[in-house]
Structure 1
Amino acid sequence: MTELLPRHGLGFLVVGGPTVVIDVAGLRLVLDPTFDPPTDYGALRKTRGPAVEAQALADVDVVLVSHADHADNLDVSGRAFALAAPRLLTNPGSARQLGAGAEGLAPWQSASVGDGVTVTAVPAQHGPADGETDAAGFVNCEVTGFVIQAPGTTIYCTGDNASLELITRVKERLGGIDHAVLNAGRATVPAKLSGRPLSLTAERAGAAAQVLGAPHVVVVHQTGWEHFADGPGATLRAFRDAGILDRLDRTPEGEWSICGAPPRLRNNHRGR
């Protein structure tokens, strides 16, 4: 039987792809769960399994799903994990797809998830500013980011957002960001929007970090899937070129980044 991962006061663990475990204020949140093994879904192909199995996170309190439309943000095992969680927060359209138990938050709407802890849905755009919109007015599909506000800390998770303008708006509206989880990878699908980036490129992730001014940045959604063009090496170069490499958390997937020390000095714990 798989043991549950011990909890931390404030910590981040990247599972792979967009999936991140966030321990904060006594709560465990899992962002965009993807736990399938390598799988060919047709339009998308997963090339690497998760660094942590779903069973090790069965005590999750809240699952945050940026969107339910794409397997690289919610695969088959991830969907089952999300639907089994005590709380499942997502955007309104994805809530309708996921059914009973999923709570849809419109942009800027908040939900209380614990003692002094709130999750606010924030705008995101899954493609370029001039991208063609669907009948509901969304580029590619409806997607949301999340801001987690807990005593003494604020965490911004962008979701699959390619818009620096929206990131700036989040910063202006909600104030200082202590920790940023940025979906990058330069996700590209030739059949969509002429192959232009559907998520942040490495360079734009560096620009987003500068806009936010967050001292701690976790870049995800850049490994494990065939359609990511910018990997961790590109991200590292972009942050180094921008002079903000000290903000980039370089903890390997599957290891905890325990907050309270500068990114390079964090205590990293594999499975403990």
Structure 2
Amino acid sequence: MIEVLRVTFVGGPTALLEIGGKRLLTDPTFSPAAVYETVPGRPLTKTEDPAISADEIGEVDAVLLSHDQHADNLDPAGRKLVERMLLTLTTLSGAKRLGGTAQGLPPWATIKLGPVEVTFVPAQHGPPGAERVTGEVTGFVLSGANLPTVYVSGDNASLEVVQQISRRLRSVDVALMFAGAARTSLFGGAPLTLTSEAAAGATRMLGARHVIPLHTRGWKHFSEGPDRVRKAFAEAGLTDRLHLLEPGETWSLEA
């Protein structure tokens, strides 16, 4: 058996993916637990320190940044990391704001990182029309010859968006779902990311063989934690596909 993917959970939305000889980091959040103001008057409370520091992560080939405008996806320490990164893949508007080596592409555009093909896919950060308030967000699909297909949802709350993605993909081996049903005062408290039940539904839509939930712990506005996710997947008969990692834990896929 050959290890074809390693996923190490740092905390919040942050995970290190090792695939095709590349090391890719999702939404970097390495600041300590504290209150961070996303925009004036909208503080977000981080409740857990990262399990692994940015220095302990080591060299990374690229950051997969779903969006830059919210502290729970890019906190102050994450911004410092992005500033020194060789490449950050993100939204078109995010790349303009970040500058430097950030590169933005529209949905369904693809970039190659050696043997790893990174395809940008849609994401909807809240109910329909949310983008006017929450801003542009992207997800990612990783694929390549003799590599597993990996879906990284980013902050997406829409099963309709997942359905669009599933129509384009032949199969998904591993899905990193940003679940946790994040809620703030926006949109009357409507979920800004997938609920636990929606994450289970997305798993069925995609036919994903393995699911690793992210964005379910570490911030006060994540309204559904790992236990709720576990319950939803059990009720959907999908427990065998679920891998709930503790911060600092690594999961591997062999082929």
Please classify the TM superposition score into its range, dividing by the shorter chain length: over 0.9
| Aligned mates of 1:146, 1:103 — CA distance in 2 | 14
| Aligned mates of 1:132, 1:69 — CA distance in 2 | 14
Q: What CA deviation, in whole Å up to 9, does each residue of 1:32-77 have, x standing for no partner?
A: 0000001111421101010111001231111110000000000011
Confirm or deny that 1:16 pairs with 2:21: no
Aligned residue type for 1:127: G
Q: What CA deviation, in whole Å up to 9, does each residue of 1:199-242 have, x standing for no partner?
A: 00111111111111111100010100000110000000000000
Aligned partners of 1:25 and 1:151 also within 8 Å: no
Q: What SS does structure 2 have at the residue aligned with 1:47?
A: coil
| Aligned mates of 1:253, 1:241 — CA distance in 2 | 25
| Aligned mates of 2:30, 2:222 — CA distance in 1 | 18
188, 207, 217: which one pairs with 1:194? 188
State the 1:151 CA deviation. Answer: 2.5
Residue 173 of structure 2: aligned partner: 178
Q: What SS does structure 1 have at the residue aligned with 2:254?
A: coil
Q: What SS does structure 1 have at the residue aligned with 2:93?
A: helix
Query: Which of 1 and 2 has higher RCO (CA within 8 Å, sep 6+)?
Result: 2
Structure 1, gaps ≥5 residues long: 1-7, 262-272
State the 1:175 CA deviation. Answer: 2.1
Q: What CA deviation, in whole Å up to 9, does each residue of 1:69-124 have, x standing for no partner?
A: 0000000111111221221100101001101210001111111111x211111000
Structure 1 residues 51 and 133 mapped into 2: Cα distance closer, same or farther (>3 Å)? closer
Number of residue-to-residue matches in the alignment: 247
Mapping of 1:226-245 within 5 angstroms? Answer: 226-245=220-239
| Aligned mates of 1:62, 1:230 — CA distance in 2 | 29
Structure 2, gaps ≥5 residues long: 38-42
Residue 31 of structure 2: aligned partner: 36
Residue 61 of structure 1: aligned partner: 61
Structure 1 residues 133 and 9 mapped into 2: Cα distance closer, same or farther (>3 Å)? closer
| Aligned mates of 2:73, 2:130 — CA distance in 1 | 21
Identical amino acids, percent of aligned pairs: 45
Residue 4 of structure 1: aligned partner: none
Aligned partners of 2:124 and 2:131 also within 8 Å: no
Instruction: Report the TM-score, using the length of structure 1 for normalisation.
Output: 0.88
| Aligned mates of 1:215, 1:201 — CA distance in 2 | 19
Q: What SS does structure 1 have at the residue aligned with 2:201?
A: helix
| Aligned mates of 1:75, 1:132 — CA distance in 2 | 22
Mapping of 1:1-272 within 5 angstroms? Answer: 9-42=4-37, 43-114=43-114, 116-129=115-128, 131=129, 133-134=131-132, 140-152=134-146, 153-190=148-185, 192-260=186-254
Post-superposition, which runs of at least 4 consecutive aligned residues in structure 1 deviate over 3 A? none
Instruction: Report the TM-score, using the length of structure 2 for normalisation.
Output: 0.93
CA RMSD after TM alignment: 1.3
Q: What SS does structure 2 have at the residue aligned with 1:11?
A: strand
Q: What SS does structure 2 have at the residue aligned with 1:78?
A: helix
